[in-house]
Amino acid sequence: MRLAVLASGSGTLLDAMATGGLPIALVMVDRHCAVEDVAAGHGIPCVVVERTDFGDSFDRDAFTARVVEQLGEQRIDLVAMAGWGTILGPAAFAALPGRIINTHPALLPAFPGWHAVRDALAYGVKVTGCTVHVATETVDDGPILAQEAVPVLPGDDESTLHERIKAVERRLYTDTIRSILEHGVEQFDRTVSSASTSS
């Protein structure tokens, strides 16, 4: 299986994945960012599918078509989002059904959305964590592949808690992707198919 990583930020998760030995065939970014340097440092090809419109006029479907075209040209079988900043349109999930995965800094289905760590602290939970899940058209709503709990410590703020979650995330995400690659797509598809049947 050919693995692509879609990322937009500092590249720390990509660095952990590459350092962990994952055979990443392609990195894609939607804006110029530190991820490009991380990819170069690991000798991984990186393409920019630049998003230039962040307003109400943004054509999500056209942007998604460009992403899908690049993935198709590179014969990508599995996509891991690692801080990717743009929500993709339906065409991406049609092109790679059950083959796009993501990680989220909470124990889904609790605290979906962009501010999961802040929301968990505001709610007063004693335990939160990290979830690796299949990405779908509905954000943070796909079948769960792996989860790990992270305790909320006295005195935690959003920054300290998020850093501890990220440490777990780097390991859990890498291990989950490795398992998918080693055990084949059948195991991955069974997870998706059983979740779809129960919904």
Residues annotated as catalytic are: 104
User: β-strand 78-82 against 46-48: which pairing, if any?
Assistant: unpaired
Residue 155 exposed, middle or buried by CB count within 10 Å (0-12, 13-18, 19+): exposed
**Tokens 């943070």, residue located:** 140
Is-contact 154 110, C-beta < 8 A?
no
Is-contact 70 47, C-beta < 8 A?
yes
**Tokens 């092109």, residue located:** 95
Is-contact 51 30, C-beta < 8 A?
yes
